[in-house]
Structure 1
Amino acid sequence: MSGFDDFDFLIGDWTVTNERLRARLVGSTEWETFTAFSHIEKVMQAPDGTFGGNLDQMTVPERGFTGMTLRLYNPETGLWSIYWSDTKSYRLFPPTIGRFEDGRGIFYGDDVEGGVPVRVRFLWTGGEEPRWEQAMSRDSGETWEVNWVMRFGR
């Protein structure tokens, strides 16, 4: 499998169970759960037949917004860049960048949460029931707070 194929497990239609921490980086232990629906397709087909990325459109009726993830693969570096936008912010968030090793994808980026710079980490596991996890760190990755988990089902 080449890097271009890393996210092939995700292509198609999904029902997504979201578990999200109600408040981030304040010591909260209160979680909320809601459902979303996701359609993911390959994009940017090259002349050799490979696809340079995929586009994920997610509707979240219980929360009244739509989100979009664009994942782009760079064959020169072997790294994926993952970009997010939604109809709550109408902005493109800074990317997380990383790769898959042994069936697990690890991606890091920088952002701002509550006016404070944070390090962001995404963990992806593939298979029949993919799982995504987001964590944030205020201390440059010394400690992490998991604040969002998505479980994908057909």
Structure 2
Amino acid sequence: MRTRAILFVVLLVPAAAVAESRSLPLPDPPGYTLKRTGNVGDFDYFAGGWTTHQRRLKERGVGSDQWEEFPATLCMSPHLDGIATVDELYFPTRGWAGLTVRTFDRQKKQWSIYWVSSERGVLEPPVLGGFDGRVGEFYGEDRDGERPVKVRYRWDKRDADHARWEQAFSYDGRTWETNWTADFTRGDTATLCRDGRPRR
């Protein structure tokens, strides 16, 4: 009986250590900050309709280099004199869509970006930041399954008709893994959108 009790304790210790490591806050990976600021007009250029090529890692956080690629259509509308924007991103080959809501805090001069997908229906925690020139960076915290992650969105306004977005997670507080990219090309809004949403 005593042998069994000792074995039980030995087995519990690693499990407790794993649980504790999952609850500990991650250190800040390179570049991470919640103090980056921007301007109320940062996303004005993105109004209207866009076609986009999406690339997403098949598996995140395991060192995979296998990507899946698929098209999408995005339609964005500004609100409240530009301090809020809403866009819907439709993935015709996936059968689902996503919604992005951005709000600008005039006092902090900072954007908060929220995402919800039609698959889950859950509003994800925001990333915060703004643009410096044509490049914007936004950071926050989330969970990927049971694993805590630091999150980075990066926007690149390449020119008036092209943009690139990237999402990266840090699982260890030291390195970033880019797991989703999107290349955007401006399209004809009347053709791509109806009432501010992608045509189905």
Q: Give the structure-2-normalised TM-score.
A: 0.71
What is the match of residue 55 of structure 1? 86
Residues 1:29 and 2:48 aligned together: no
What is the match of residue 105 of structure 1? 136
- Name the one with the larger helix percent: 2
What is the match of residue 55 of structure 2? 19
The match for 1:6 among 42, 61, 64 is 42
What is the SS of the residue equivalent to 2:83? strand
Counterpart CA distance in 1 for 2:85 and 2:126 is 14
Counterpart CA distance in 2 for 1:115 and 1:62 is 28
What is the SS of the residue equivalent to 1:5? coil
Counterpart CA distance in 2 for 1:54 and 1:75 is 14
Larger RCO, structures 1/2 (Cα 8 Å, 6+ apart) = 2
Counterpart CA distance in 2 for 1:103 and 1:76 is 22
Percent same amino acid among aligned pairs?
39
What is the match of residue 152 of structure 1? 184
Q: Give the structure-1-normalised TM-score.
A: 0.92
What is the match of residue 118 of structure 2? 87
Counterpart CA distance in 2 for 1:132 and 1:95 is 16
Counterpart CA distance in 2 for 1:79 and 1:66 is 26
Matched to 2:88, the amino acid is Q
Residues 1:137 and 2:137 aligned together: no
Matched to 1:131, the amino acid is R
- Structure 1 segments unaligned to the other structure (5+ residues): 46-50
Counterpart CA distance in 2 for 1:84 and 1:54 is 12
**Residue correspondences, number:** 147
Q: Structure 1 segments of 4 or more deviating over 3 A?
A: none
Question: Any idea what the Cα deviations from partners look like across 1:114-138, whole Å, max 9, x if unmatched?
Answer: 3100000000011321100000001
Question: Any idea what the Cα deviations from partners look like across 1:75-114, whole Å, max 9, x if unmatched?
Answer: 1111100000011110100000011112210000111113
Counterpart CA distance in 2 for 1:18 and 1:114 is 22
The structural deviation recorded for 1:43 is: 1.1
Matched to 2:140, the amino acid is G
What is the match of residue 104 of structure 2? 73
Counterpart CA distance in 1 for 2:155 and 2:46 is 10
Matched to 1:150, the amino acid is A
Counterpart CA distance in 1 for 2:88 and 2:168 is 21
What is the SS of the residue equivalent to 2:45? helix
- Name the one with the larger strand percent: 1
- Structure 2 segments unaligned to the other structure (5+ residues): 1-37, 187-200
